[in-house]
Structure 1
Amino acid sequence: MRRSPGGWAVAATALAVLTGAGLTGCGIPPGTSVRVDGPLPEIDSPQTSENPVLPPGPDQADSEVELVDNFLQAAAANPEDPVEVLREFVHQDDRGTWQPDPQILVVRADESVSTPGQQVRVQVPVHEIGVLTEDGTIEPRDVTQPRTLEFKVVPVADMPGDADVASRVEQRFQLVDPPDEIILSTSALGTYLLPRPVYYWGTEGEMLVPDLRWLPSALPVRQRAQTVMKWLGDGPAAWLPGALVGLPDDVTLAGNVVWSADRLEVPLTSASGEVDGRRLDAQLWWTLRPDLSGNRTLVLVVDGAERVLDGDYLALNPAAGPDPLRFAVLDGVVRQLRPDQEQDLPALAGGLNEEIHSAALSRDRRFAALVRAEPEERLRLSVARAAGLTESDLVADRMSRPAWLAGGTVGLVVADGQLYRFDETATVSRVRVPGGLTGIQAVAAAPDARRVALVASGRLYVASLVWRAGSFSMNEPRVLPTTAGDLEGVGFLQENWLAFVGDETGRSLLYEITVDGALERPLPNGEPGAPVSVDSFTAYPGDPTGQSARGKIMYEAENRAYVYAHGILPALIEAGDLYGVPADAEPGEPRAPFFLD
């Protein structure tokens, strides 16, 4: 496997020594077993632990099953060169000849089953998620069927000197004939690797876009920024081709990042000699923000010129800032949810706010994309603005709630299984979705308008958008593995996390999943029950600089609107929660909720 200066290999020797010596002093006491099926950690804010954290080694296994559990976590200690760490689990007769495939396969592991015998057989059902690459990304795999890994475990006695078997000190376990692949459980990924966004500029725009990477927590804190900067210089992940641009003005790293208690110094050089300081500063501030804990100052040294970053870069990340306004449709009228201060809706002035099935409002509220009823129970897309209402040619039996991209003048909508774009003039055209994806049910766009999520034929996909001259094309969608089936809606809940609703054993549940499919978990108290269908599902990311990076979810079930905040049962949105409802009215039920795009 290729070694990268400044990458994971920097700490390889130290990691191997620490793993072989056990975990005393690393925050995990000897004998502790971290089970594969344990709960995933919370990832609401950047993890900034300055103490390397390592998974348990073979000596910490108290049983055959625990040895296998530890083996499935061990690659997290050093993803750059995991074989040497894993060899410690292998019997000495097989250790020298074991040459597994160097790829690190990430799997979701179910509960293991052991069969006693001279060699204890431990079987672990797994679902393949993807491959962890050298640049910290995970390449998803479209494997729908689970498979079972089988491990053979034998006891090995630790004996002092020439002592006989009766005087053995400790019972240990090792693997014989181990699998010829490197396996990493998602539980270990979520526990021992840190989710680190690397930020790039979107093409044709002034918005920073997060690109999710996974950084080993075993890497010493002084070397983390160096690794992240190398990833940044190498360019965006494979699923974002053409959607993002790298460092500006041919800027490259010119040496080692210098880390100290109060300062992080990044040496850079530019081939052109001219640097757009505003874009470079914002890009590096957001990328290195997790390394600035404890009021550490970020300093850039570009071609010898030192610059302290003390500006305000929040506005350049569209996910940062207060929660957007929320709305719902009540008796065909768009109304704003309390308690935010009520805002006027210029797009719907002049009698246009009526007979609405679902809607989307641009961020400045000058444009409204409306879905309205047509004869024979069909639906039509229209666009409203101060100048009036313009009907589009798009008429369908089934149509999703529309969505504007990045608060702008272009939007997306799904109609009868196909994806369409529209603009402020109500001009509609079909979006070419590479790969022949059909049966599209729902679409959601990230605030940066460079990443979208799709539900098609009950499965979850992500894709990137490449913008040119004010329009866009879509790269081929990538399927994400989910435990639930029959998905009905999706939205961006955090910068790099999606929320979706799916069916598990006959009931609907809310889930969250990373945009690479690596980690997935049901949301606490996220139980809509067993509705016939869930419609108008939407979410909006929380502020990544705030106390919680999770936003809220809203959806419609059985013609009633609900809002979900993390950990709290979905709450019914009632007419009294909306502005402008006459006191003497007998309103129906609010439905089709949405956030200001």
Structure 2
Amino acid sequence: MRRRALALLLGGVLLPAGLIGCGIPNETEVQVDGSGPAAEAGASNGSPARPPSPEDSNEPGPFIENYLRAAAAGEREQAYARAKEFIAQEAKSLLPEKQKSSEIGLTVVRLREKLEVTPPNNQGTSVVTVKVQQVGVLRANGVLAPPETSETEYVFQLRRADPSGPGLLLTAVPNVLLVSDSALGKYYLPHTIYFWNADQSRLVPDLRYLPSSVPTERLVTEVVRWLTGDPSDWLETGVTGLPDGTRPINNATGADGRWEVNLTMPGADDKKLGLLATQLAWSLPDLSGQLDLKIQNQKRRTVDLQQERTAHAAYPAGGVPARFSVYDGAIRPLAIGNEPRAAVPLAPADNRNVASAALAYAGDGTRAALVVTGADRRQRLRVGFGAAPVTGLATSARSYRAISRPTWLRSSDQNRPAGLVAADGKLYRFDGAAAMSEVPLAVPGPVVAVAGSLDGHRIALVSGGALYVAAVSVDGGVVVGQPRPLATELTGVTAVDWLLENDLVLAGNEPDLRPAIHQLSVDGGREIALKRDIGAEVSQLAAYPGASTGGPPSQSYMYEANRAAFRNNPFDIIKPEQVLDVPAGSRATNPTAPFFLY
């Protein structure tokens, strides 16, 4: 399957792209290919596998696994029909009545253990118990919404299709349309659409899923339908939709690089059409050619899709990315292979007693947020911004027992920077003067980590060992929306960052309690193990969600465990001799708290 990562176009402008593909092995050093060619008109967007059928297995366990794939294996309108092929006539009523296709929700589950199979009794009936983790509900609009139930196991009963012949049929099934997460990955393609933030200055990604068998014409129609509908519920705080009453008129049409979209849009002036043109260009990243925008059958704008993406970058340009770590209480550059390096953008007098830090490019300047430890072993936040070297850092009025690595909100005003940090179990926002104010959150347990996305309107946070995502609005102040919990195989999550536009990298414990690092989609739908057998709890984690010529590879991340720093691509410890600009007389130690400046 094609994979796309964030890419840098000419001029160093960071651009968004889709998620990694499915079918990645359980542990892998992920390498990212370039975007595949745009599909031709009438072509399939993927290579859908053949839908499973009841005849594919005569064994109860594999039969149930195929049943959990069936509903996802094709167009949504036929989901119930595909599932009922596995069910005996006397039990078909056990599934809920077929709803309208627009109302069908597929309950996506992750199998936690091997299926428990009870051998057939004298009547040839067997029972299969499936232990699951609820992942979410796949809606008709392609959104993987939060789970609607907390069920942890489902029980199926089977009999022989013919008492004297092969084949099986279900005689007892759960009263929901179940789909395994592996089926979601096999029969659906992740697809990103984009909504504008409140002041229409920044595009914000919204992850959707589309059957892999959908042809290109249908893709355009679905994207238009999604954009004229609502964003995912958890994103509403950070985005704004199209004008009320905007609706598609008929399906999109087109072929050979010429597409046509017909809409009704109240108040469709040049500004609104220009904003929609940018949304469409980024929401259809594999299409090139021209797209005619019609409003009530009148052509109002012709969009060159590639030119639109080039002229209107989704994310702002940044400087050359570089790696840093903390060494003997100061931020120091790292020398990793032939990757670019940058000087620490701080005066030496401010680069002391540092426990962790976040540096970010903003326009022609740099933002710096340092967690510093005082003689009393309590921590404070120091903040500054401007041209390098950043001077005149402000210090938070309060001190705290423990402060997490800060994160900058990249969508905030360059002259009024803002960020988030976890301190003593609570989430705080901070400004350029290091003024901290608590952000109220309805989450259980202490908040220990927070990370902001490249678009600046989404955050991931760790609270009580669980992982959450939330939308952020910076219009008139920093407002964090209601956090959405994500299903992950890891427990006791300790750290998180953004690995790709719609993927997180997180650290916690696998079911056998061994510390590990996983990759997880922003809705919890797809998860893979990146690093196992770490041997110690990961205390800090930092990723670089981009790719540039000569820069860190896409999906690069670094972490701290047992007071030592490590990196991937390939996995290796970061050695003291890889730390640059260390003054004479410094204490010999391991580099810690690694991070990226970009």
Q: TM-score range by the shorter chain?
A: 0.7 to 0.9
Which letter does structure 1 place at the counterpart of 2:347?
Answer: A
Contact 2:94 2:172 in 1 (8 A): no
The match for 2:313 is 316
Deviation at 1:342, TM superposition (A): 4.0
Residues 1:396 and 2:396 aligned together: no
Once the two structures are superposed, the pairs formed by residues 57-456 of structure 1 within 5 Å of their partners are 57-76=53-72, 77-95=74-92, 98-99=95-96, 103-109=105-111, 110-114=113-117, 115-117=119-121, 118-141=124-147, 146-156=152-162, 171-204=166-199, 206-247=201-242, 252-276=247-271, 277-290=273-286, 292=287, 297-302=290-295, 303-309=298-304, 310-311=306-307, 313=309, 316-318=313-315, 324-338=321-335, 339-346=338-345, 348-349=346-347, 351-364=349-362, 365-385=365-385, 386-406=390-410, 408=412, 409-433=417-441, 435-456=442-463
Contact 1:263 1:298 in 2 (8 A): yes
- 2:440 is paired with a residue whose SS is coil
The match for 1:162 is none
How far apart in 1 are the matches of 2:496 and 2:133?
22
- 1:362 is paired with a residue whose SS is strand
Deviation at 1:473, TM superposition (A): 1.3
Which letter does structure 2 place at the counterpart of 1:123?
Answer: T
Once the two structures are superposed, the pairs formed by residues 445-524 of structure 1 within 5 Å of their partners are 445-469=452-476, 471-504=477-510, 505-523=512-530
The match for 1:573 is 574
Q: Structure 1, residues 88-123: CA drift from partner, whole Å, max 9, x if none? A: 111233336753585421111232232223112222
Identity, in percent, stands at 32
Q: Structure 1, residues 354-374: CA drift from partner, whole Å, max 9, x if none? A: 222221223145332111112
Structure 1 residues 87 and 367: CA distance shift in structure 2, 3 A? closer
Deviation at 1:493, TM superposition (A): 0.9
Structure 1 residues 221 and 520: CA distance shift in structure 2, 3 A? same
Structure 1 residues 329 and 544: CA distance shift in structure 2, 3 A? closer
Deviation at 1:581, TM superposition (A): 2.9
Deviation at 1:320, TM superposition (A): 8.6
Structure 1 residues 263 and 584: CA distance shift in structure 2, 3 A? farther
Which letter does structure 2 place at the counterpart of 1:529?
Answer: I
Structure 1 residues 583 and 62: CA distance shift in structure 2, 3 A? farther
Which letter does structure 2 place at the counterpart of 1:551?
Answer: Q
Deviation at 1:496, TM superposition (A): 1.1
- 1:175 is paired with a residue whose SS is strand
Structure 1 residues 54 and 272: CA distance shift in structure 2, 3 A? farther
Which letter does structure 2 place at the counterpart of 1:311?
Answer: Q
Structure 1 residues 251 and 494: CA distance shift in structure 2, 3 A? same
Question: TM-score, length-normalised on structure 1?
Answer: 0.82
Deviation at 1:316, TM superposition (A): 2.8
Deviation at 1:57, TM superposition (A): 2.0
How far apart in 1 are the matches of 2:173 and 2:481?
39
Which letter does structure 2 place at the counterpart of 1:522?
Answer: A
Contact 2:420 2:450 in 1 (8 A): yes
How far apart in 1 are the matches of 2:519 and 2:278?
28
How far apart in 2 are the matches of 1:575 and 1:243?
42
- 1:476 is paired with a residue whose SS is coil
Give the number of equivalent residue pairs.
539
Deviation at 1:345, TM superposition (A): 4.7
How far apart in 2 are the matches of 1:287 and 1:419?
32
How far apart in 1 are the matches of 2:243 and 2:270?
7
How far apart in 2 are the matches of 1:37 and 1:577?
32
Deviation at 1:66, TM superposition (A): 2.6
The match for 2:538 is 534
Deviation at 1:521, TM superposition (A): 1.8
Deviation at 1:467, TM superposition (A): 2.7
Contact 1:538 1:553 in 2 (8 A): yes
- 1:69 is paired with a residue whose SS is helix
Contact 1:54 1:217 in 2 (8 A): no
Deviation at 1:273, TM superposition (A): 3.4
Residues 1:596 and 2:597 aligned together: yes
Which letter does structure 2 place at the counterpart of 1:349?
Answer: A
Structure 1 residues 264 and 528: CA distance shift in structure 2, 3 A? farther
Deviation at 1:257, TM superposition (A): 1.1
- 1:375 is paired with a residue whose SS is coil
Structure 1 residues 396 and 123: CA distance shift in structure 2, 3 A? same
Q: For structure 1, which segment, 248-257 or 487-496, has the greater mean C-alpha deviation from structure 2 after superposition?
A: 248-257
Q: For structure 1, which segment, 403-412 or 77-86, has the greater mean C-alpha deviation from structure 2 after superposition?
A: 77-86
- The structure, 1 or 2, with the larger RCO (C-alpha pairs under 8 Å, 6+ apart) is 2
Structure 1 residues 376 and 258: CA distance shift in structure 2, 3 A? same
- 1:394 is paired with a residue whose SS is coil
Which letter does structure 1 place at the counterpart of 2:592?
Answer: R
How far apart in 2 are the matches of 1:297 and 1:413?
44
Structure 1 residues without counterparts, runs of 5 or longer? 1-35, 158-164
Contact 2:465 2:491 in 1 (8 A): yes
Structure 1 residues 285 and 375: CA distance shift in structure 2, 3 A? same
Q: Structure 1, residues 212-245: CA drift from partner, whole Å, max 9, x if none? A: 1111113334312212221111021111123111
Structure 1 residues 252 and 540: CA distance shift in structure 2, 3 A? farther
Q: Structure 1, residues 477-521: CA drift from partner, whole Å, max 9, x if none? A: 111122121111001111111110011223211101111111222
How far apart in 2 are the matches of 1:545 and 1:241?
35
Which letter does structure 2 place at the counterpart of 1:500?
Answer: L
Structure 1 residues 334 and 519: CA distance shift in structure 2, 3 A? same
How far apart in 1 are the matches of 2:592 and 2:200?
34
Which letter does structure 1 place at the counterpart of 2:70?
Answer: A
Contact 1:142 1:480 in 2 (8 A): no
Contact 2:331 2:344 in 1 (8 A): no
Q: Structure 1, residues 287-328: CA drift from partner, whole Å, max 9, x if none? A: 1113x2xx5554444531351314252563239988732211
How far apart in 1 are the matches of 2:109 and 2:352?
50
- 1:227 is paired with a residue whose SS is helix
Contact 2:339 2:550 in 1 (8 A): no
Deviation at 1:194, TM superposition (A): 0.8
Question: TM-score, length-normalised on structure 2?
Answer: 0.81
Which letter does structure 1 place at the counterpart of 2:270?
Answer: V
Contact 1:553 1:564 in 2 (8 A): yes
Deviation at 1:379, TM superposition (A): 0.8
Structure 1 residues 233 and 399: CA distance shift in structure 2, 3 A? same
Deviation at 1:280, TM superposition (A): 2.2
Structure 2 residues without counterparts, runs of 5 or longer? 1-22, 99-103
How far apart in 2 are the matches of 1:595 and 1:125?
40
